[in-house]
Every structure is written in C-alpha cells, then in structure tokens.
Amino acid sequence: MSVVRFAPVEGEYDERWLTAAERSRRDRLVQTPDRTAFVAAHVLVRECAAALLDAEPRDVVIAHRCRDCGGEDHGAPYVVGADLHVSLSHTRGWVAAVAAATPCGIDVQEVGHVPDLALSEAELAWAGEDAVRRTLLWSRKEALAKAGLADVGAFWEHDVRARDARIRDWADDGVVGAWVIAGPDDTGDPDDTGDTGDTEDAAGPVLGGTP
Ligand SMILES: [Zn+2]
C-alpha cells in the first residue's frame, strides 16, 4: 500500500498545515522559490498520507525520528499516530512525496551538476558528462538513503546503474526523480499512486542503455 506523487509547484499552499518545526525550517530558506517548494512538498506529503489513511491532509502531523540516534529533530519523517512512513523532496518548481506502510524514500532533482564524489567509478565511466544520467543516479541514491538502504557518506560505493526492483524512476523536462519503498512486496506500482497524472510515466526506465 503506497501513494507516490510528483507535482509541479503552482498555486497557493496552506502553510497552516505545517508544524511549528517545519515552519521554522522553512524560515531558514533564503530564496522565495525554495520556501514555496518547501511548503508545497510538505503539503503534498500530507495529501499522500491522507489518501492512505482516509483522513484530511490538514490533520496529518509529520514528525521525525533518526534511525541512528533516535533524535527527533532530524531523521526520517513519519506520521504521528499512524503506522505510516513518508518521504518528501523538493527542487525549484517540482515536489515529490510518498507514503507507505514500510520505510520509503523519494527524491526529485533539477538535472544539473552532480559532483564526481557522488558516483562510483563504474557509474562515472558509464555516465560520462551526461547530466541526465548523472542526476538520476544521484537521485536514486538519495531515495535509497532516505529509505535507510544506502549511506549518504558512502555514495561512491554504491553502483545503482542496474535497476534494483525497489527503485522506480520518474522524469519530466529538465527534472528527474526516483523513489524506493523498502517493503517486501510493495514497490509502489503506479497503480497504487495518486492522482497527479504525472506518475503515469513514473515507472518507465529513464536511463537508456542501463546495463
Ligand atoms: Zn541522529
């Protein structure tokens, strides 16, 4: 059971849905487009969770818990009072969110510069200077890390060219994304996804020639 959504940032977002902690994190963002995308992503993740819970999005309370130290001011987000994992991501102009019964991770990125350090030697050889390939590989790693399946500090050790069955890709013009649902049988088929329409293409392989 999962809901996955990618959506453009457009229109008005009700920031009153955000917790005080989320609003203070938003306030630390300097640029208006980044603040808007932050709010949009936090609204979208509530919509995903609400769709699974049959609740109102504004009633969904998101909190954080670190898998390593148990700290509650950082770490993976979850829904308070429900056995539901969530993940969200924002880049300028696009947001993404997933809600699932098991740990999950999602990422959306503008196609652009990806530091060599984020990629393995084999990935660097394969992607070359292809910004789409490089950004998608990075996005897959971010999604894996958020799902607790990869170590952010060791991205160069992970080769994610081959499509792990748990990884799904998404792409739009100049933007790529990926999501991972760590559950045993649930890879977040588009059939399970929400209503943006953007997810219709979500499971298609983006990387032509993936080994
Ligand atoms: Zn921690």
Q: Above pLDDT 70, what percent of the chain?
A: 86
Q: How confident is the model at residue 190 (pLDDT cuts 50, 70, 90)?
A: very low
Of 115, 18, 119, nearest in space to 61 by CA: 18
**At residue 202, what is the residue type?**
A
Find out if CATH 3.30.870.10 is the number for domain 1-104. no
Tell whether the model's pLDDT for residue 191 goes beyond 70. Answer: no
Mean pLDDT of 68-87: 91
**Bridge partner list, 86:** 99
Residue of higher predicted confidence among 158 and 132: 132
HSE, CB side, 13 Å, CA atoms: give it for residue 139. 32
Q: Tens digits of per-residue pLDDT, 140-150?
A: 999 999 999 88
From the CA of 117, how far away is ligand 1's center (Å)? 23
Question: Contact, 42 vs 88, CB < 8 A?
Answer: yes
CA of 115 to the centre of ligand 1 (A): 25
Distance CA 194, CA 130 (A): 31
- Among 122, 121, 87, smallest CA distance to 105 is for 87
Other Cβ atoms closer than 10 A to 5? 25
More confident residue, 51 or 192: 51
**Residue 195 pLDDT:** 37
Q: How close is the Cα of 118 to the center of ligand 1, in Å?
A: 22
73 CA distance to ligand 1 middle (Å): 8
56, 170, 53, 63: which is closest to 108 by C-alpha? Answer: 170
**pLDDT tens by residue, 129-139:** 999 999 999 99
Rounded to the nearest angstrom, the distance between the alpha carbon of 137 and the centre of ligand 1 is: 25
For residue 141, the CA-to-ligand 1 centroid distance in Å is 19
Rg (C-alpha) for the chain, rounded Å, is: 16
Domain boundaries, the chain: 1-104, 111-166
> How much distance in Å is there from the Cα of 132 to the middle of ligand 1?
32
Confidence band of 184 (pLDDT split at 50, 70, 90): low
Report CA(72)–ligand 1 centroid distance (Å): 8
pLDDT over 70 at 22, yes or no: yes
Q: CA–CA separation, 129 vs 83, rounded Å?
A: 42
Q: How far is the CA of 76 from the centre of ligand 1 (A)?
A: 10
